[in-house]
Amino acid sequence: MRGEHASQHNRAERAARFPRLAVALWGGTLAAVVAACCISLGLWQWHKYSAKTALQAQLDARGGEAPIDITTEPVDAEKFRYRHVAVSGEFDAGAQILIDNRIDPLTERAGYDVVTPLKIAGSDMRILVDRGWVPAGPDRRTLPAVAPPAGTVRLTGIATVPATRFFTLAPQAPSAGRAGAPWQPVWQNLDLAAFRAAVPWRLQPVVVALDAAAPFGYGRTWLRPDDRSTMNLSYALQWFGFAASAVAIWLYFLLRRT
């Protein structure tokens, strides 16, 4: 009887060890995979948050400085990013573009950003000036009347560096230098490289976001560089929490009494 009882006890111990071993191996593997994926997603959101807040800090530090004149010499885009700048010249209405599907932050209406090249005084160099937002009309085939003024103007604004990666549904405008190629006034994105390839003259690598008090502009509620950064931070913390939860659940099943 005593031997039979010992044998049953040993079998019970082996049976108890087996599920714990399965939890340790398979559960641990699953928890590690889930935690690694969640941490990766959390770091992705954290890096977006960090990049946005760093750009905002750069704008806050540079935007209040006295304007720097942009002349005929090409500037370094990164050195001029978010600098307060001034430029003189004449608008080139023939190469003006409207950036489609832009939402006004105040009214949440769809419309266009009006972007006009300015021929810098004393050269053939141009710089793009974002003159602000205008609403789209009921008939998309009728574009808003946003002709720039004639003659020499002096403008101030913040130098920005447009994004380089876009989602586009169709190719941007054809080259204006090609014989017979019409100029496409409506673009999906402000693609500086595509614009430079479409025109025959030199172009500065920054875009001037016109000051709110400057003339010749439209709605200028510019989005902050850190727009929605708190959402990125929230998502990052959620993903890190999911990773911790996966490990905690595995430890609970591993350490609980059988």
pLDDT (0 to 100) of residue 177: 46
- Per-residue confidence band for 100, with pLDDT thresholds at 50, 70 and 90: very high
pLDDT reading at 75 higher than 90: yes
Average per-residue pLDDT for the chain: 84
Contact criterion met (CB below 8 Å) for 168 and 190: no
Q: Which residues of 136-158 are buried (b: 16+ CB within 10 A; e: fewer)?
A: beeeeeeeeebebeeeebebebb
pLDDT reading at 87 higher than 60: yes
pLDDT tens figures, 205-225:
999 999 988 888 898 887 787
Q: Which residues of 67-97 are buried (b: 16+ CB within 10 A; e: fewer)?
A: bbebeeeebebeebbbbbbbbebbbbeebbb
pLDDT tens figures, 8-36:
555 555 545 556 676 678 888 888 999 99
DSSP, collapsed to helix, strand or coil, labels residue 20 as helix
Angle at 129 between CA 228 and CA 225, to 5 degrees: 15
- Residue 205 one-letter amino acid: P
pLDDT (0 to 100) of residue 70: 92
> Is residue 217 packed enough to be buried (19+ CB in 10 Å), middle (13-18) or exposed (0-12)?
buried
pLDDT tens figures, 40-73:
999 999 999 998 888 888 777 777 788 889 988 8
